[in-house]
Amino acid sequence: MTSKLLTGAVGAAILALGAVAAHAGTLDDVKAKGFVQCGVNGSNLAGFGAQDSSGNWAGLDVDLCRAVAAAVFGDATKVKYTPLSAKDRFPALQSGEIDMLARNTTWTVSRDSQLGFDFRAVNYYDGQGFMVPAKLGVKSALELSGAAVCVQSGTTTELNLADYFKANNLEYKPVVFEKQEEVDAAYQAGRCDVYTTDQSGLYSIRLSLSNPADHVILPEIISKEPLGPAVRQNDSKWLDIVTWAHYAMVAAEEFGITQANVDEMKSSANPDIKRFLGEEADQTIGKDLGIDEKWAYNIIKQVGNYGESFDRNVGDGSNMKIQRGLNALWTKGGLQYAPPIR
């Protein structure tokens, strides 16, 4: 319809402008300003997005921001962080205040369509769980009939909670707060019997309580929470960078390339590995993405592979000790799988 109406030179010029506008996106903006503005967790969610006492950011989500900066600039430090609450995260992405959101955010169809975002990579497969004081002696979520449940608004958590209790014909009293700090305080003060959120969040929050051993995480997982980075929709070049930054970390783990051996691996006899590290003559993977041919090398050298990031932030190398579970490589029974980088 539009193209039928827009005939002649003026129409062609307008269409060309439209095409330019559609193509000039966040990647160009990020390159021009020299850093990635990354939206991360605003409540010091240890393991995912948190600041240490010197103000340095760390976490699995933070590593994704750093990987994107390493891919675009060859420098993982070229990131500025915007701490965001559950409620503020989506307007911040919609308005352009941030370039990407890496903040324990579940990929759902309404966020993809109605909110105008695109998701493609999942950097942590999670599910919603429940935490209760050990002294209650509760062993299963099905024993929670009549419980007061603390939950944060503006999350998938609040919606799944309602569905789960309804589906199981259980009564409950939601105790809802907008800020995580308020939920934490209410739970600690005994204003509710149960704390529900993503299970990863529960592990992290439990460690921040005055006596972590006094709280148990129940076995039930009541939802699917694929957590991953979001960008504004119709910005395919930028979506590609964010997505492949994650896949590069997964691919490196598949190849056995680590932060420590990445330089040796450059002279590997395996053409897949050489190509991944930008060592094959005439390859154009980086160029085609709009970034340096050494993009994946820079990510692994500066941030590490997915397994290293998982281990350091939330796994055995951290105090959370979360098992790889669904986040193991597909070759080890998990869901982390990188499409071919060729």
Ligand X SMILES: N[C@@H](CCC(=O)N[C@@H](CS)C(=O)NCC(=O)O)C(=O)O
Residues making contact with ligand X (CB under 6 A): 41-43, 45, 85-86, 104-106, 152, 155-157, 180, 197-198, 201, 225, 227
Give the side-chain half-sphere CA count within 13 A for 165. Answer: 19
66 membership: H or E segment, kind and range: helix 60-73
Shortest distance in whole angstroms from residue 45 CB to ligand X:
5
Residue 115 φ then ψ, to 5°? -80, -15
Tokens of 309: 């990031």
What burial class does residue 74 get, using C-beta atoms within 10 Å of its C-beta: 0-12 exposed, 13-18 middle, 19+ buried?
middle
Shortest distance in whole angstroms from residue 117 CB to ligand X:
12
Shortest distance in whole angstroms from residue 9 CB to ligand X:
48
Shortest distance in whole angstroms from residue 16 CB to ligand X:
39
Q: Which residues of 41-70 are buried (b: 16+ CB within 10 A; e: fewer)?
A: bbbbbbbbbbbeeeeebbbbbbbbbbbbbb
Based on CB atoms, which residue is closest to ligand X, 128 or 302? 128
Shortest distance in whole angstroms from residue 88 CB to ligand X:
8
C-alpha to C-alpha distance for 95 and 230, rounded to whole angstroms: 13
Give the side-chain half-sphere CA count within 13 A for 242. Answer: 30
| Nearest residue to 104 via CA among 88, 91, 123 | 123
Residue 58 φ then ψ, to 5°? -150, 160
What DSSP state is assigned to residue 335?
Answer: S
Q: Pairing relation of β-strands 225-227 and 124-126?
A: antiparallel
Based on CB atoms, which residue is closest to ligand X, 202 or 239? 202
If one counts every other C-beta atom within 10 angstroms of the C-beta of residue 272, the result is: 15
Shortest distance in whole angstroms from residue 179 CB to ligand X:
6
Shortest distance in whole angstroms from residue 23 CB to ligand X:
30
Tokens of 61: 């989500």
Based on CB atoms, which residue is closest to ligand X, 123 or 157? 157
Shortest distance in whole angstroms from residue 93 CB to ligand X:
12
Mapped onto helix, strand or coil, the DSSP state of residue 37 is strand
Q: Decide: 322 and 48 in contact? Cβ < 8 Å.
A: no
Based on CB atoms, which residue is closest to ligand X, 52 or 263? 52
Based on CB atoms, which residue is closest to ligand X, 75 or 112? 112
Shortest distance in whole angstroms from residue 123 CB to ligand X:
12
Straight-line distance from the first to the last Cα atom of the chain, in angstroms, rounded to the nearest whole number: 38
Based on CB atoms, which residue is closest to ligand X, 180 or 298? 180
Based on CB atoms, which residue is closest to ligand X, 41 or 82? 41
What DSSP state is assigned to residue 135?
Answer: G
Which residue's CB comes closest to ligand X?
201
Based on CB atoms, which residue is closest to ligand X, 105 or 243? 105
Based on CB atoms, which residue is closest to ligand X, 158 or 311? 158
C-alpha to C-alpha distance for 171 and 161, rounded to whole angstroms: 11
